[in-house]
């Protein structure tokens, strides 16, 4: 089946009663833009070291970001994930998109009312500068919902007869979709927002109406937005809130079959025009559901492994390898398509999520008790913790390094959240400012905030400074990670290791990363006590790639790890 035939088939799954006229017009437009290529060979994301940032909070605007590209390249980054940059009233840090084909004027350094050519010049220049350094660029698109300031919503709310009314979901009966859970528990009290005699449906903030994908014009409009940015040279898109796209009465409105059909349409459409554009799923679900968003290699190329993140924190708190080994076992994490990839992370712009959709009540309680060190860090009534990585680990650089060792080596492609590479702290001033702006007590604003580059420059010059010590360690780890293909493409095999007395060491997480080109042994001491490990591969010689708190007793062939120490070893 050709890509074109595939798009027609998907269209008819979604809209069996709709004529093909609208699709034919759309396909005739994109056929003129299509480039030759093999979608299966464009798997650059498997070797990506991704750095996530807000352009304005990182360094003001795109000009400022260009100034820091050398910093990012030196750090070991080869892909930037730009958190929301599209036009927005900024009540939800930019995830409330007003116009999907415009970047916010302040990020471009342009006055309001700029024309598209000016946008393409400024943003295009940034893309060129990044690509010259071998740095790919992806950004967020909230495809499930928009801002209530979106021009189409502004028209839709004026009249039931508005041509844009059906772009959104309206009802006088708020029992519709009553099985859909409340995602912002403790912040919102309903998925329906009153407007006159009607209510409109939203899964997130009340000022973010959901799109109605039962209207084919919504699907085509979103497709055109993605194609516009693809044509400018953007390397991919993080599809925000992807499980909620399609709604059906009598269901929980999550992970429905036609949601997958929509994702397949987006993927086929992007591949048809220009193979190699990453489609990344943000699906806060159990791995068995997340895997479905990669389909048979025909949906998203990659997805976040949400359950692995809290289990890394639990493993360190417990001093046990079992939380991670269990989470990555086939019983919990199914096999993914050959073209697919997991993305691993410790922190992102959101909270340390403990949603019961992928952690047990026991896990949620344990992690919350061990890491929510201040009441104001609480999010979603115990289902999350809003704190920076350095704060969660109470500024213990050994634990920070160990956590990075896990994230960078265990599976998939890693995501570094801006500022974590130097131990950035919670920003309480920014949090307070955002409460006033949004009218919502959203504790996630604690983990955002600006970088003070002048202060950081001074901090990094002092080798005894906490931020300098963290920075030097993480920079070294990132650059080592980038040099070894086995970390991004290799298989993971867990090993049982033993002490000199031949007793099993459950506090050590040990694994092999194996690829055709190389084999790497990783040892992580998850406990606060030193440990001695008998050489798990006595027939092989090894050499050190990177470490912290490690030494080797050559006479007894014993590896020694200090509390929270780790080592990455190449195998000969």
Residue 93 region, left (φ>0) first, then alpha (ψ -120 to 50), else beta? left
**To which H or E segment does residue 264 belong?**
helix 257-273
Provide the β-strand partners of residue 192.
Answer: 201
Residue 60 region, left (φ>0) first, then alpha (ψ -120 to 50), else beta? left
Q: What are the residues whose beta carbons fall under 8 Å from the beta carbon of 89, sequence distance 6 or more?
A: 96, 98, 147, 149
Q: What are the residues whose beta carbons fall under 8 Å from the beta carbon of 137, sequence distance 6 or more?
A: 79, 80, 82, 126, 127, 130, 131, 233, 234, 235
In whole angstroms, what is the distance from residue 531 CA to residue 522 CA?
A: 15
Residue 238 region, left (φ>0) first, then alpha (ψ -120 to 50), else beta? beta
Residue 177 region, left (φ>0) first, then alpha (ψ -120 to 50), else beta? left
Q: What are the residues whose beta carbons fall under 8 Å from the beta carbon of 77, sequence distance 6 or more?
A: 49, 50, 51, 135, 416, 478
Q: Cβ(525)–Cβ(507) under 8 Å?
A: yes
Provide the β-strand partners of residue 185.
Answer: 188
Q: Annotate 77-98 with DSSP letters as a single string.
A: --EEEE---EE---SSTT-S-S
Q: What are the residues whose beta carbons fall under 8 Å from the beta carbon of 543, sequence distance 6 or more?
A: 569, 570, 572
In whole angstroms, what is the distance from residue 263 CA to residue 27 CA?
A: 17
Count CB atoms within 10 A of the CB of residue 57: 18
Count how many residues are written for the chain.
572
Q: Show which residues are catalytic.
A: 240, 282
Q: Cβ(550)–Cβ(531) under 8 Å?
A: no
- Give per-residue burial for 234-259: e unless 16+ CB within 10 Å, then b: bbbbbbbbbbbbbbeeeeebbbbebb
């Amino acid at each position: 089946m050709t890509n074109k035939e595939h798009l027609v088939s998907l269209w008819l799954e979604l809209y069996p009663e709709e004529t093909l006229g609208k699709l034919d017009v759309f396909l005739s437009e994109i056929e003129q833009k299509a480039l030759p290529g093999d979608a299966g060979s464009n798997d650059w994301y498997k070797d990506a070291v991704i750095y996530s940032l807000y352009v304005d909070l990182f360094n003001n605007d795109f000009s400022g970001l260009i100034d820091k590209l050398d910093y990012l390249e030196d750090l070991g980054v080869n892909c930037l994930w730009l958190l929301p940059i599209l036009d927005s009233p900024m009540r939800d840090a930019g995830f409330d998109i007003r116009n999907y084909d415009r970047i916010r004027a302040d990020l471009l350094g342009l006055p309001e009312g700029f024309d598209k050519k000016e946008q393409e010049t400024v943003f295009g220049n940034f893309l060129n500068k990044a690509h010259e350094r071998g740095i790919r660029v992806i950004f967020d698109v909230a495809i499930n919902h928009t801002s209530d300031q979106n021009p189409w919503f502004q028209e839709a709310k004026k009249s039931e007869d508005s041509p844009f009314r059906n772009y959104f979901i309206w009802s006088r009966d708020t029992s519709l979709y009553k099985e859909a859970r409340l995602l912002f528990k403790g912040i919102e009290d309903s998925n329906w927002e009153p407007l006159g005699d009607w209510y409109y449906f939203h899964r997130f903030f009340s000022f973010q109406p959901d799109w109605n994908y039962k209207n084919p014009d919504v699907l085509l409009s979103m497709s055109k937005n993605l194609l516009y940015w693809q044509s400018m040279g953007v390397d991919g898109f993080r599809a925000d809130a992807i499980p909620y796209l399609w709604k059906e009465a009598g269901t929980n409105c999550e992970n429905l079959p036609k949601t997958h059909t929509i994702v397949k349409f987006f993927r086929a459409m992007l591949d048809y025009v220009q193979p190699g554009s990453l489609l990344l799923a943000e699906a806060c679900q159990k791995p068995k559901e997340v895997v479905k968003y990669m389909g048979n290699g025909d949906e998203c190329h990659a997805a976040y492994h949400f359950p692995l993140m809290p289990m890394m924190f639990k493993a360190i708190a417990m001093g046990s390898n079992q939380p991670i080994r269990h989470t990555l076992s086939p019983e919990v994490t199914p096999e993914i398509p050959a073209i697919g990839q997991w993305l691993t992370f410790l922190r992102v712009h959101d909270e340390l999520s403990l949603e019961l959709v992928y952690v047990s009540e026991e896990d949620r309680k344990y992690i919350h008790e061990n890491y929510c060190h201040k009441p104001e860090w609480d999010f979603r009534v115990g289902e999350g913790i809003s704190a920076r990585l350095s704060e969660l680990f109470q500024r213990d650089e050994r634990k920070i390094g160990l956590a990075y060792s896990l994230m960078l080596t265990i599976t998939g492609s890693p995501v570094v959240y801006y500022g974590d590479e130097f131990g950035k702290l919670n920003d309480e001033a920014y949090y307070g400012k955002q409460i006033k702006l949004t009218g919502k007590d959203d504790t996630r604003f604690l983990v955002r905030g600006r970088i003070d580059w002048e202060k950081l420059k001074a901090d990094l010059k002092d080798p005894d400074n906490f931020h300098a010590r963290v920075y030097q360690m993480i920079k070294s780890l990132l650059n080592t990670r980038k040099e070894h293909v086995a970390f991004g493409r290799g298989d993971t095999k867990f090993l049982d290791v033993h002490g000199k007395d031949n007793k099993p060491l459950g506090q050590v997480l040990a694994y092999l990363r194996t690829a055709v080109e190389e084999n790497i042994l990783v040892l992580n001491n998850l406990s606060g006590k030193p440990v001695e490990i008998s050489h798990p591969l006595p027939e092989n010689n090894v050499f050190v790639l990177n470490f912290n708190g490690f030494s080797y007793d050559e006479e007894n062939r014993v590896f020694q790890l200090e509390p929270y120490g780790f080592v990455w070893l190449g195998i000969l």
